[in-house]
Structure formats: structure tokens, C-alpha cells
Structure 1
């Protein structure tokens, strides 16, 4: 079920909206060091996860039905709906740390039209072993947060900072202990059941990934995995920082977020990359390394400028824009190629459509629908090409048509 989360808005109502999501066990007070600076440029909306901060606790979960990351994401999406009603803003910037970053990734992958730019801090797309998370959920449900509090807070800041500032440690401890035990347990289950790695290629928003060099909870290699999966994503590793980088490296985090969410003119929300690096990243994600490597190897002096052009503008700009998912772009592309009779391109984009999440049956529906508006002969030919291509891919679900 969806929980009505507490949110706190600061900054000018007319400014772009920046939504901040918290870590498991922490309230959005973890963003306090950045808010004053960010609120000068943005309408900053902080959202407490279920049972965290001032958000209501979640009711007990059903036995055998662990909470999932998409449930937590739908809690946040309900707040985005409220923002849209209040401000008329349909797309926001989104930043999340740890569990907040996981939730942000799910939203960016499944509702890309709602996210302009994305920042992911000290987070992971997959955090095994699941048993450890389920065991922690069981402990918290049985005994409350007390038994785990010391170990959790020790991971939030480096030993040096903890020794220098016992008052900070006490405040973090109070924040953790103020979290509802059932809600914390449900968030543990969401992390245990989460694997966002297959979704990363669907994220089209320009993305910044920040890690702490000394983060024992989620080491920096998790950040690189995320960046490798999201076309054009950039990684920044902060030295001398543990899990709550917003607390330990507050100024540096604020600077990185401002730079990312206030891009130079021409690179604002909705802008594509129009760079070779972004183009090659997206092109490889959609078409596969083998295809791109073959195209590069076959480049000649005559075709070099054209290869640069399509990589930079077709893939680095249009295909990298956040306004449509790659899945949606594959649907449009297959329909357009069929309509044009561009037989030499169809097989390549059938393969791309499979990589972008379409099923063979859905590809068949696209070609059938296109037949109504582009004519039977061209769709008939497209079906033949698609059938042969899917057979080569050993697709498990056949597509059908009323081929003549």
C-alpha cells in the first residue's frame, strides 16, 4: 500500500524543483548542511521515507510478502503528484542517498518523463547478501533499533569525525532511534529484494554518482557499476567520507550538486548530450558492443564524418534525451523504419528493441499497427525481417501476423 509521506519545501516557488530522498535509518535532516545553499537556486523538497523523520509508520507487512523498492518509489511518486498539482511542475531534479538513491534509480528508470537530472549518492543497484538484510529486518521487528544502532552509526561517519564530534554522533544516534522499527524492517526487505542493474540502461536523465572513499556500507565500486550502466553518467569519489557524505563532506557535496543541477546554458533539463562520449555510451547500450565495434572497424576516410555525425547527434543527443524511454524510442524507430521501407535498418533495430525491453509479441504489435498507416507490403516485409532476426536471437516467444 502507498504511504502518505511527509515533505518539506524550501526555496522560491518559481524555481526548478529539486527533490531530496534520505538514507535508511536517517531522516531528511541528513540534508541540512546542503539545503540553505540549494534553496537559493531551487524549490527544494525533502521527503522522509515511510516511518522515517515525520512520515507516518507503515502498517505491518504480510508474512511472506516482503516490501519492494517499487513500493517505496510509489510512496515518492505520490508526493511528486502533489508537487505537480501545487506547482504545475511535471519534471523534477532528483537526488537520493543510499536507500534514497535506490528509490531514485527505480523512478528514473520506470518514470523517466518525471526526472530532469539525477544524482545518486553512496548507493547501489544491487546489495547482496539478501539474507543479511532479512536477518536485520527480523531483529528490528523483534527487538527494535537498539541492538543495531551502534553498528549502523559507526558506518555513517569515519572514526576520525566520530572522535572529533561526539555531539554529531549523538544526534545521528537519536535520528536512527527515532525511526519506526516496522518501517525500517520494510526498507531492509526492499534492499534485500532489489536488483536494479537491468534497469540502469533505461535511465536517460543526466546522472551524477557520488561515493565515499571510506564507505563501509556501500564501497565506491558500487558507484562505478551504476555509472557503467547509465549512459553518460559521471562518478565522483569523495576522500575521507563514509556513508553519510552529506554530513561528512557537506561543502563538497553541495558544490557537486549545484554544478550538476545547474548545467551550462544548452545543457538544462531536456537537453541531450550531443557529445561523442555520450553518443558511444548510448549507442553501445542500445545496439551492443559487437555492432558498434564492427561499425568503428569499418569506418573509412569517406564515412568518418558521417559516423561522427550519427554518434554525436543521433545517439549522443536524441537517443540520450530523457523525454522518452529507450523502449519508447525503439517503438517509434521500428514504426518509422517500416513506414520508410528501410529494410536494411530493421533487423538492427529489432535487436535493439529486444535490448530495450520489448518482447517479440510487442514488436509484432508495433508492426501490425504500422500496417494500418503505412501499408501492408512494407509491414509484411518488416515482419519477415523481424521473424528472421528473432530466430537468430533464439527468441522464446514467436510473433505472429496476418501475413499474405
Structure 2
């Protein structure tokens, strides 16, 4: 199966972030944003069918945004990416909305940029598709600057992308926009969502983004002055600032929970020991262990402490066990309850493992008693 052409940047172990383009552009739309995001993420930019390096035959007449979303999922699967953050512009943003509604387990966070839950009805896009199938993309490419940027601004590389787009694939993308309308499903989106609007955007004005923000639970909206439809190209610094604040949310939440469970003194010591070599690992812990697992409300912290103690005994991580005995006390477990957990590990993890665990826990509890004395 042919895949969408793509460009990957950043460490393979970093949190994955997929970036979707606007109709008529290639992944070059993200040239001034993606390299900065790749410092903390595994950034994967993809090209629409018939745009950039993607094959035109990946899409056909009567295509839908769902068809494009399936191509994105096939690309993610080929890269071994199960769950990812997603940001997209215009048609790329529509793909993100579709993924968040129909494949919520795949999308960890969503940013929709200069896009909409509907694109002003089917007729304009049907007419544009017919024009392109009849005359090619030249006449549309000639007006790209006016549709994409504020007066006096241009990005020649993106205009060239428009000129070189395959007419049939471009028209099929227009078919997808003509059929797209997710207004009735916005409330179903559960991923943390950011909307970014270009204040001077005539194609998807801020009101379109505001509608999404009003319907998606907990969504945030940022309006960028001096930006038209291709905000990442025209105002990359502002888009980058907004995306960083949004994407770093799990890390911030994770750090807060990490402090609640382990205590400020422990976390401060860990942060003080951090080096450039260990910085990504510390971010990984805060983002995933604390930002996704420990913040999941399905289980209270108290129960999570019991599970963690058992797992650490099973694997013989007694130094880590001591830290989590302290955390268990912070989470409300009594010494008697900790002892009961460790006693159960004797049955399922073995007596020698439980013996070492009791010794480690006894030292922590004795230190606690000494501190109180």
C-alpha cells in the first residue's frame, strides 16, 4: 500500500506529533515551526495526495475527509505510532477534527489552525473542483497570495506548491471539503483542543474557530493578529508559542501530580540533578507516567500507590520502593495498610522479595517516626 509522503524530525523516542497541511500546500507550510517543535517531539509532517511528494492516486473523485484521515492513520501505523498529538491547517485541521471524533483513542491532543467544522457549504467547493478538472490549477494558483496571506506578504515556495499540485487530486480534496460538516459532533471530542485563528483570515474567519471552541469541551481559542489563512507561514512565532503552551500541558499537569505524590523536596532534588543527557527522560516521566497515568481519574492515588508498591516488589526495585512507600504515606496509606500490601506480595512475588521489601519499608517508616519525634 502506498503511503502519504512525509518528513520526520526529532528523536524517535519523543512524543509523536503529526502536522497536517492546507489544500494547495506541501509540508513546507511548517518549515518555520516544525524544527522548533522537534526539539521536544517526534514531528511527522505529511503531504496531501497530489501535493508535494504524495502520489495523486491515493485519492479519487468523491473523496471525503474520512478518506484522508484513513491515509493519516495508515502512515501513523507504518511508523509504529499508536497515539499522537495532531495539529493541522485548514483541510489538515478538518482531518484532525475527524480523527478526534471518529478515532479518539489515537489522538492525545488536537490543534486546529485556520480551519472549520464546515467550509461554507458544498457549492463553492463543487464549483472549484469542476474548474480545476476543466482548466487545471493555474488560475487558482495566481490568486493564492490574496487567499492565503495579508496584503504584501507571500511565501514563493508555497505558491509554487499550489502551481505544481495535481489537478485531479486537488479537485478530489475539494470534493472532501464540500462534503465535510462536523458541527453536530464537536461535543464528542474529548482530546485537549486548541483552536488558532488568523484574525485577517477570509477563508475560515475567527468566528468559525470560535464555534468549535464553544462546542468542544474545555477547548481554548487563540486569535493571531496580522495573520491570514496560512498562519504558520505568516506568523510562525505566534503559532509556535501557542502550540508549545498547548502541547506542554500534559507535562505541566504531570509535574503538578508528581509533586503532590512524591513531595516537593524529592522532585526538586531530581530536577537539580537533571542534565542535558537526562532532560528528555525527565520530560518523558512527567508527560507519561505522571501526566497521563497518575492523572487518570479512574483510580484514586491511594489505589495507584498500592499497585505501584506491588509492581516494584515484583521487579526488585527496592530503592524506588522506598520512594513510593513515602508516596503511599502522602496518599493516605497507614503503615498497617502498607504492611498488608507487602504481605500479599510474599504470596505472589515470593518470600525473599517481600523480605527485602519489608526491610526497605521499615527504614522509611522509622525515618518518619524519627522525624515526628
TM-score (norm 1): 0.61
Deviation at 1:207, TM superposition (A): 0.5
Structure 2 CA distance for partners of 1:3 and 1:128, relative to 1, 3 Å: farther
Partner of 1:158: 150
Aligned equivalent of 1:171, options 143, 147, 157: 157
Contiguous gaps of at least 5 residues in structure 2: 258-294, 299-373
- 114-123 or 151-160: bigger deviation: 151-160
Contact 1:59/1:182 (CA < 8 Å) preserved in 2? no
Is the 1:262–1:268 Cα contact (8 Å) retained in structure 2? no
Rounded to whole Å, the distance in 1 between the matches of 2:76 and 2:164 is 25
Task: Give the alignment of 1:17-36 within 5 angstroms.
Answer: 17-36=16-35
The equivalent of 2:253 in structure 1 is 267
Q: Relative to structure 1, is the Cα distance of residues 4 and 268 closer, same or farther in structure 2, using a 3 angstrom cutoff?
A: farther
CA distance in 2, matches of 1:60, 1:254: 31
Find the residue that maps to 2:11 and give its secondary structure: coil
Mark the structure with the bigger radius of gyration: 2
Equivalent residue, structure 1, for 2:136: 144
1:303-328 CA distances to partner (integer Å, 9 max, x unpaired)?
xxxxxxxxxxxxx9759xxxxxxxxx
1:39 equivalent in structure 2:
38
2:49 corresponding residue in structure 1: 50
Cα distance in 2, alignment partners of residues 242 and 94 from structure 1:
21
Q: Give 1:59 deviation, angstroms.
A: 6.5
CA contact (8 A) 1:96 1:102 kept: yes
Alignment deviations for residues 10-55 of structure 1 (CA, whole Å, 9 cap, x no partner):
1011110010000000001000001121111111001111111100
Partner of 2:123: 131
Partners of 1:160 and 1:202 lie apart in 2 by 40
- Bigger CA drift: 243-252 or 151-160? 151-160
Among residues 68, 72, 78, which one is paired with 1:76 in the alignment? 72
Find out whether 1:95 has 2:124 as its counterpart.
Answer: no
- Partner SS for 1:171: helix
> Per-residue CA shift, 1:309-351, capped at 9, x if unaligned?
xxxxxxx9759xxxxxxxxxxxxxxxxxxxxxxxxxxxxxxxx
Q: CA deviation at 1:3?
A: 5.6
Query: Is the 1:52–1:180 contact (alpha carbons within 8 Å) kept by the matching residues of 2?
Result: yes
Structure 1: distance between partners of 2:19 and 2:45: 5
> What TM-score do the two structures reach when normalised by structure 2?
0.66
Residues 3 and 50 of structure 1 are in contact (CA less than 8 Å); yes or no, is this contact kept in structure 2?
no
Question: Does the CA contact (< 8 Å) of 2:199 and 2:226 recur in 1?
Answer: yes
Partner of 1:356 in structure 2? none
